[in-house]
Chain A
Amino acid sequence: MTEASSGVRERPLSPHLQVWRWHVTMLGSILHRACLMGLYAGALMLVAWALALASGQQVYGQFIAVMGSLPGKLVLLGLTFALFFTVASNVRHLMWDTGRGFTPKVADTIVIAGIVFAIVATAGVWIIAGQTGALS
């Protein structure tokens, strides 16, 4: 951030979210951030899982009962998607860091590819979970 030596200067304001037409990279950016905020809670839940395991069979059983309930499963489903979409976003940003993939067509395509990857991977994980009896 630069500041003129004279001190006060009018700063340009960025356009508010509402005046933008929704486009794919904007969706990707917002979704990435939303996923990270969800994963923040998810990481703390993972720590709680480790603590429950270290606290013995009874506490672990209670923790698993909460996570295995319908609301718990829905949260885990959301976290699975958030995890995979964040992986895709990290790959995308590493690619963008090299200076490649900034034309609108390519940028849109890799965001959509990330969303598709996250949906497919999430579905795959939960289908396997169903087959191994993890959901019962």
Chain B
Amino acid sequence: MSLAKPGFRTPLSRARGLGAAKHGVGHFIADRVSGLALIPLSIWAAYAGLKLAAGGYMAAVEWLAHPVNAVLLSLFIIAGLLHLRLAMQVVIEDYIQGFVAKSTLLILNYLVCALGAALGVFAILKVALLGAF
């Protein structure tokens, strides 16, 4: 991080001296709220994993056909990937210094999590609504 170069900041921005202030609050709240939601969801997921591991394919399809399981698993995937995107973002910001590498990874992190959530929820809905085939 080089402060010797003024970079893209405007003179007004430098005079205010606030840096990136106020942008971190949204991150913090999203992190804590998703973390709170994940406390019961994770314990449910461990219970669900035990149940699924004991059964086969048909048992898993039947399990996911139940609306409560389909909704909770969707929530677990969405809240989980939101929480993990925020966690990974901080790790990238902490350890990757080059502007291009950092930006690329931050964008990739966003897209991987969004794609994962979309694929996961779609797959859940497909099984829940259409069943086995």
Contacts and interface: CB of A to CB of B under 8 A. Distances in A.
Interface of A: 1-5, 7-9, 11, 33, 36-37, 39-40, 43-44, 46-47, 50-51, 53-54, 56-57, 60-61, 80, 83-84, 86-87, 90-91, 93-94, 97, 121, 125, 128-129, 132-135
Contacts, number: 121
B71 interface: no
Contacts of B76: 46
Which of A3, A5, A51, A97 has the most C-beta atoms of chain B within 10 angstroms of its own C-beta? A3
A5 B14 contact: yes
Given A93-B35, A129-B50, 10 more contacts: A36-B88, A43-B77, A46-B77, A47-B77, A50-B77, A50-B123, A56-B132, A87-B39, A90-B39, A134-B53
Contacts of B18: 2
Tell me what chain A mostly uses at the interface: helix, strand, loop, or mixed.
helix
Interface of B: 1, 3-4, 6, 14-15, 17-21, 32, 35-36, 38-39, 42-43, 45-46, 49-50, 53-54, 57, 60-61, 64, 73, 76-77, 80-81, 84, 87-88, 91, 112, 116-117, 119-120, 122-124, 126-127, 132-133
Contacts of A50: 73, 77, 119-120, 123-124, 127
A43 B76 CA distance: 9
A40 B60 CA distance: 23
Nearest to A59: B57
Contacts of A40: 84, 87-88
B84 A8 contact: no
Which 6 pairs show the lowest CB-CB distances between chains A and B?
A1-B19, A134-B53, A50-B123, A54-B123, A90-B35, A47-B120
